[in-house]
C-alpha cells in the first residue's frame, strides 16, 4: 500500500477537540501504541493537547487533491532540499489528508540521517501548528549535522536526476486528482 496507511478515525476528547488520527497500517505494527484489530493493525497517533488542529488546517495541503512542494524547494536558508516537502506531508498526514503521500518515507529518512534529526520529535513539533519559519528554526536547533554538511547534502540531492521523477509523479497526481469531478 503506498502511503502511510489509510485514515480510520479521528480521536477526540470529551469536548470534541481532535487529539490525533487513528490509522490502519500493518507497517506501523512496531509502534508501542499499536493494537491488533482483526488482520490489520491499528496505530494511534496521539499528540494530546499539543496538536493544534486549527493552525494545522490553515497551513496544510490536502494531498488527496494536490501534491506537496517539490523536493527542490528550500525550507529556510539551511535546508536546501526535501525539508519543505516532508513538512507538507507531515501536516497532511496529521489531518488524515495525505492521500498517496506519506511522512517518513525513504527519501525523508535519507534527509533525517543527513541532517541528524528524528522523525517523531519533528512530527510532534509540526502537530503544534508551527509555520514554516518556526519548523525551520526548530530543525536548525535540533539538527546534529553541521550546517555545511547539510548544504552539501542538499546540493548532492539536487544534482541527482533520478529525483526529478518525483516531480513527474506529482504532475501526474495533480492532473488526476486536482481536477474537479463531474
Task: Please state the domain extents for the chain.
Answer: 52-177
| 130-157: b (≥16 Cβ within 10 Å) or e | beeeebbebbbeebeeeeeebbebbeeb
Per-residue pLDDT tens over the stretch 87-139: 999 999 999 999 989 899 999 999 999 999 999 999 999 999 999 999 999 99
The per-residue pLDDT for 3 is: 41
The per-residue pLDDT for 11 is: 52
Say what percent of the chain tops pLDDT 70.
70
The per-residue pLDDT for 15 is: 60
Q: Helix, strand or coil for residue 42?
A: strand
The per-residue pLDDT for 8 is: 46
Q: Is residue 158 over pLDDT 70?
A: yes
The per-residue pLDDT for 10 is: 53
C-alpha cell at 48: 494530546
Q: Is residue 41 over pLDDT 50?
A: no
Q: Helix, strand or coil for residue 10?
A: strand
The per-residue pLDDT for 13 is: 53
Instruction: Please give the model's pTM, rounded to 2 decimal places.
Output: 0.70
Residue 19 DSSP one-character state: E
Q: Sheet holding 34-37: strands in order across?
A: 6-12, 18-24, 40-46, 34-37
Whether the CB-CB separation of 90 and 96 falls below 8 Å is answered with no
Q: Is residue 25 over pLDDT 60?
A: no
Distances (CA, A) of 18 to 54, 127, 139: 10, 11, 25
The per-residue pLDDT for 162 is: 80
Q: What is the DSSP string of 43-97?
A: EEEE-GGG--HHHHHHH---TTTS-PPPTTS-BTTTB-SSHHHHHHHHHHHHTT-
CA distance 103 to 86: 6
Mean pLDDT lowest among 76-85, 104-113, 163-172: 163-172
pLDDT band at 173 (very low <50, low <70, confident <90, very high): confident
Q: Is residue 55 over pLDDT 50?
A: yes
Q: Is residue 167 over pLDDT 90?
A: no
Helix, strand, coil content of the chain in percent (nearest 5)? 45, 15, 40
Q: Is residue 29 over pLDDT 70?
A: no
The per-residue pLDDT for 148 is: 95
Amino acid at each position: 500500500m503506498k502511503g502511510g496507511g489509510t485514515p480510520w478515525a479521528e480521536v477526540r476528547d470529551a469536548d470534541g477537540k481532535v487529539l490525533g488520527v487513528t490509522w490502519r497500517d500493518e507497517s506501523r505494527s512496531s509502534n508501542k501504541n499499536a493494537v491488533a484489530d482483526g488482520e490489520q493493525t491499528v496505530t494511534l497517533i496521539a499528540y494530546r493537547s499539543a496538536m493544534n488542529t486549527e493552525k494545522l488546517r490553515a497551513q496544510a495541503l490536502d494531498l488527496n487533491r494536490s501534491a506537496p512542494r517539490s523536493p527542490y524547494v528550500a525550507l529556510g536558508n539551511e535546508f536546501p532540499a526535501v525539508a519543505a516537502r516532508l513538512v507538507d506531508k507531515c501536516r497532511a498526514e496529521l489531518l488524515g489528508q495525505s492521500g498517496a503521500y506519506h511522512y517518513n518515507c525513504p527519501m525523508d529518512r535519507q534527509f533525517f540521517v543527513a541532517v541528524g534529526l528524528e522523525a517523531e520529535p519533528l512530527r510532534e513539533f509540526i502537530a503544534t501548528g508551527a509555520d514554516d519559519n518556526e519548523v525551520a528554526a526548530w530543525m536548525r536547533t535540533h539538527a546534529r549535522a553541521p550546517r555545511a554538511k547539510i548544504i552539501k547534502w542538499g546540493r548532492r540531492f539536487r544534482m541527482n536526476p533520478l529525483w526529478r521523477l518525483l516531480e513527474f509523479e506529482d504532475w501526474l497526481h495533480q492532473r488526476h486528482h486536482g481536477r474537479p469531478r463531474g
